């Protein structure tokens, strides 16, 4: 069945460091792919998305490219800030139906 | 536009009591989801509705849990009787469905503590 696998956390980085959070997926066809962010005490918020192969989603300095050949959607940011400290979830929306599949989440802490 | 609205934001209740969580989805959305989040199990889908009809309730943990959606703008998740292991954050979410890009929007969550 469809699923998402993302890198284990927690991740701790210094401010201005480069961030990569890996996400790979298993699905039939061409699912839509998403990154959501959850700040402490809040719900999940859409960070970016891509709906077809080779699409690049971007928002707030974060980017992720939909790679069909490697079934990946890695999240990157060139220079993280303390305010980026949060839990990041990779998610997939199946081709058939409206089912969503979420990864286990990766906790990021950015230290000054 | 108003987002997904959940109530209560926080609830502390005693074991054995009935708990009712409420959700108002984004106007016009035809899918509604209930999730539960805990440290141990992460984010779990409990049930989802399409056009007010339950489509998949296989994630509902046991008969103590029930969910209803009497109309397009309101849903409830009820736990009766509640147990300490039900302590979690319960999220409601809604979406327009795949043909519209399929983004799912979450509420702020209901933080439930059962003592």
- Residue-wise pLDDT tens digits, B73-100: 999 999 999 999 999 999 999 998 766 5
What per-residue confidence (pLDDT) applies to A77?
A: 98
**CA of B42: which chain A residue's CA is closest?**
A104
The residue in chain A having the minimum alpha-carbon distance to the alpha carbon of residue B97 is: A98
pLDDT digits (tens, 9 = 90+) for A64-112: 999 999 999 999 999 999 999 999 999 998 876 667 889 999 999 999 9
Give the model's pLDDT for residue A33.
93
Using the Cβ of A89 and the Cβ atoms of chain B, whether some distance falls under 8 Å is answered with: yes
| Torsion-angle region of A71 (φ positive above 0: left; ψ -120 to 50: alpha; else: beta) | left
- Is the CB of residue B104 less than 8 Å away from at least one CB of chain A? yes
How far apart are the C-alpha atoms of A7 and B46, rounded to whole Å? 24
Cα separation of B4 and B85, whole Å? Answer: 26
Highest mean pLDDT among A72-86, B34-48, B100-114: A72-86
Q: Does B50 touch chain A (CB under 8 A)?
A: yes
- What is the three-class DSSP state of B65? strand
pLDDT at A98: 67
Give the CA dihedral A85, A23, B45, B106, nearest 10 degrees: 40
Distance of residue A90 Cα from the nearest chain B Cα, in angstroms: 12
Residue with tokens 């999730």: B35
Residue from the list A43, A49, A97 with its beta carbon closest to the beta carbon of B91: A43
How much of chain B, in percent, has pLDDT values that exceed 70? Answer: 96
Give the whole-angstrom CA distance, residue B16 versus residue A83. Answer: 40
Residues of chain A contacting B98 with CB distance shorter than 8 Å: 32, 93, 97-98
CA distance A96 to chain B (A): 9
If you measure CA to CA, which chain B residue comes closest to A95?
B98
Instruction: Report CB contact under 8 Å: B42, A105.
Output: yes
The predicted-structure confidence for B17-35, as pLDDT tens digits, reads as follows: 999 999 999 999 999 999 9
Are the Cβ atoms of B107 and A43 closer than 8 angstroms?
A: yes
Q: Which residue of B has its CA nearest to A87?
A: B42
Q: Give residue-wise pLDDT tens across range A23-53.
A: 999 988 888 999 999 999 899 999 999 988 9
Minimal Cβ distance to A98: which of B42, B98, B109: B98
d(CA B46, CA B61): 8
Q: Residue A32 to residues A53, A68, B84: CA-CA distances in angstroms?
A: 9, 11, 37
- Judged by a CB distance cut-off of 8 A, whether residue B95 touches chain A is yes
Structure tokens at A42: 């809040």
CA gap A90, B80 in Å, rounded: 33
């Amino acid at each position: 069945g469809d699923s998402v696998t993302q890198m284990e956390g927690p991740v701790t980085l210094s401010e201005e460091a480069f961030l990569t959070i890996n996400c790979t997926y298993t699905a039939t066809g061409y699912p839509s792919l998403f990154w959501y962010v959850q700040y402490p005490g809040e719900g999940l918020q859409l960070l970016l998305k891509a709906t077809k192969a080779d699409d690049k989603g971007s928002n707030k300095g974060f980017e992720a490219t939909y790679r069909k050949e490697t079934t990946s959607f890695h999240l990157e940011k060139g220079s993280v800030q303390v305010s980026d400290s949060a839990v990041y979830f990779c998610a997939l929306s199946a081709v058939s139906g409206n089912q969503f599949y979420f990864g286990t989440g990766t906790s990021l802490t950015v230290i000054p | 536009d108003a987002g997904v609205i959940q109530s209560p934001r926080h609830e502390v209740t005693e074991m054995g009591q009935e708990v009712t969580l409420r959700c108002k989805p984004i106007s016009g959305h035809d899918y509604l989801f209930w999730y539960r989040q805990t440290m141990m199990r992460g984010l779990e889908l409990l049930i989802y509705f399409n056009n007010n009809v339950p489509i998949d309730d296989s994630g509902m943990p046991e008969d103590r849990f029930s969910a209803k959606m009497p109309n397009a703008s309101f849903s409830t998740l009820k736990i009766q009787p509640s147990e300490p292991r039900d302590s979690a954050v319960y999220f409601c979410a809604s979406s327009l469905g795949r043909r519209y890009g399929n983004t799912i929007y979450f509420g702020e969550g209901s933080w439930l503590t059962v003592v």
